[in-house]
């Protein structure tokens, strides 16, 4: 649905603005100089001239005056008057004046009743504007009868008002070569803590690990190359283990969340292991109140969660054997 908010009625209702000359802006010095250079006195005596010669002299004088005036007073386009739409009227002017008076009074007195009066006048003014805009748009749409008018509306609605970002100068004194690079420079300059590039780099690493990375050169390809140059370890082959589904398990998992002695035999021990990964790094831990085990091991930033979980289990088994 096309609403009056999307297109201004002045773009499709009003005729195009034509250039014109303002005689008040005429440069008199240019006019006199141009006219003196174009005026030529007749060589024959004025007593022996016929009607054709007089007409020729008049035409030459007229042409000299007009050309000198056009040279001294060029055509200009009149200034646009913003806010003056076809649906604007005297009632809206009065309502806008009331809103301004109510605002000035409320700011001077700071009284609650004056502020309430200002808000009421402003709400009435906005409702009247919405009504007049909608009514004017419906009236215009109902008055379209020819293909030329409909085609003009289509051209206005098809206009693209999203210009591309121009070339920017990078910190190394070179210029950007694409709109995407210019946007990245703007984000890095005005939002230095933004994590768009980091998230894009992590997505590229995940796709490369899953063997889903394409060969075409794109912006993400450049991010991955920058990471590989900064951290050559990322070029190493990843030990990602493919997912497998085991439906015939030979073991049984029991979870006890109540009292420590409930359901446990005296010979059983409780040992907790865990592995996790955050933005700061990866780590593994082991805890057992029965064996008095408290182990926390950092693994750095390049290990996976699966590696941390396996290391936690291995540390727990090693702690049990040494007790």
pLDDT at 170 over 70: yes
DSSP per-residue codes, 252-276: ------S-TTTT--TT----EEEEE
pLDDT at 48 over 70: no
pLDDT, tens digit, for every residue of 96-132? 999 999 999 998 998 889 999 999 999 999 999 888 8
8 A C-beta contact, residue 12 and residue 140: yes
Share of residues in the chain with pLDDT > 70 (%): 75
Closest CA to 165 of 152, 154, 149, 181: 181
pLDDT at 281 over 80: yes
Task: Give me the residue spans of the domains in the chain.
Answer: 18-72, 90-146, 272-322
Query: Cα–Cα distance between 268 and 270 in angstroms, integer?
Result: 7
Q: In what order do the strands lie in the sheet with 281-288?
A: 272-278, 281-288, 293-300
Confidence of residue 254 (pLDDT cuts 50, 70, 90): low
Query: Cα–Cα distance between 114 and 99 in angstroms, integer?
Result: 11
Rounded to a whole number, what is the distance in angstroms from the first to the last CA of the chain? 77
**Tokens 């293909």 map to which residue?**
147
Q: Which residues is 296 bridged to in the sheet?
A: 285
Token couple for 235:
């070029």
- Residues near 132 by Cβ (< 8 Å), separated by ≥ 6? 87, 88, 89, 92
Lowest mean pLDDT across 20-24, 210-214, 262-266: 262-266
Predicted local distance difference test score (pLDDT) of residue 313: 92
Predicted local distance difference test score (pLDDT) of residue 115: 92
8 A C-beta contact, residue 3 and residue 137: yes
In this prediction, residues 267-295 reach a mean pLDDT of 87
- The three-class DSSP label of residue 215 is coil
Query: Cα–Cα distance between 207 and 240 in angstroms, integer?
Result: 12
Predicted local distance difference test score (pLDDT) of residue 101: 92
What are residue 205's phi and psi, to 5 degrees? -65, -40
Predicted local distance difference test score (pLDDT) of residue 269: 78
pLDDT, tens digit, for every residue of 1-19? 445 444 454 444 445 567 8
By CB neighbour count within 10 A (0-12 exposed, 13-18 middle, 19+ buried), where does 109 fall?
exposed
In this prediction, residues 238-267 reach a mean pLDDT of 61
Lowest mean pLDDT across 124-133, 181-190, 261-270: 261-270
8 A C-beta contact, residue 30 and residue 71: yes
Predicted local distance difference test score (pLDDT) of residue 173: 84
Confidence of residue 189 (pLDDT cuts 50, 70, 90): confident
- Residues near 69 by Cβ (< 8 Å), separated by ≥ 6? 21, 26, 31
How many C-beta neighbours within 10 Å does residue 106 have?
19
Rg of the chain over CA atoms, in angstroms? 41
**Prediction pTM value:** 0.30
Q: DSSP secondary-structure letter at 77?
A: P
pLDDT at 262 over 80: no
Predicted local distance difference test score (pLDDT) of residue 286: 92
8 A C-beta contact, residue 87 and residue 136: yes
Q: Please report, for residues 117, 132, 219, 224, 266, the alpha-carbon distance to residue 127 in angstroms, rounded to integers and kept in the order given.
A: 16, 9, 48, 54, 79
């Amino acid at each position: 649905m096309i609403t009056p908010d999307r297109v201004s009625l002045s773009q499709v209702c009003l005729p195009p603005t034509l250039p014109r000359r303002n005689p008040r802006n005429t440069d008199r010095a240019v006019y006199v100089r141009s006219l003196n250079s174009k005026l030529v006195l007749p060589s024959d005596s004025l007593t022996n001239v016929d009607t054709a010669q007089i007409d020729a002299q008049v035409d030459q004088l007229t042409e000299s005056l007009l050309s000198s005036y056009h040279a001294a007073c060029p055509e200009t386009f009149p200034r646009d008057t913003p806010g003056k739409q076809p649906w604007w009227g005297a009632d809206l002017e009065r309502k806008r004046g009331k809103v301004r008076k109510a605002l000035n009074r409320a700011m001077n007195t700071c009284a609650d009743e004056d502020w309430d009066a200002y808000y009421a006048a402003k709400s009435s003014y906005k409702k009247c504007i919405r009504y007049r805009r909608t009514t004017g748009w419906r009236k215009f749409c109902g008055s379209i009868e020819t293909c030329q008018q409909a085609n003009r509306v289509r051209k206005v609605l098809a206009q693209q008002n999203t210009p591309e970002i121009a070339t920017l100068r990078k910190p190394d004194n070179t210029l950007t070569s694409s709109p995407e690079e210019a946007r990245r420079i703007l984000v890095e300059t005005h939002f230095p803590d933004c994590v768009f590039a980091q998230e894009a780099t992590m997505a590229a690493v995940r796709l490369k690990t899953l063997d889903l990375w394409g060969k075409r050169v794109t912006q993400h390809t450049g991010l991955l190359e920058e990471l590989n140059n900064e951290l050559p370890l990322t070029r190493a082959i990843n030990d990602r283990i493919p997912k497998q589904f085991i439906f015939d398990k030979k073991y049984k998992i029991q979870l006890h969340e109540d009292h420590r002695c409930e359901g446990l035999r005296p010979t059983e021990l409780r040992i907790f292991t865990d592995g996790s990964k955050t933005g700061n790094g990866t780590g593994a831990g082991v805890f057992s109140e029965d064996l008095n085990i408290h182990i926390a091991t950092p693994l750095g930033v390049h290990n996976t969660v699966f590696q941390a979980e396996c290391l936690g289990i291995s540390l727990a088994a090693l702690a049990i054997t040494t007790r």
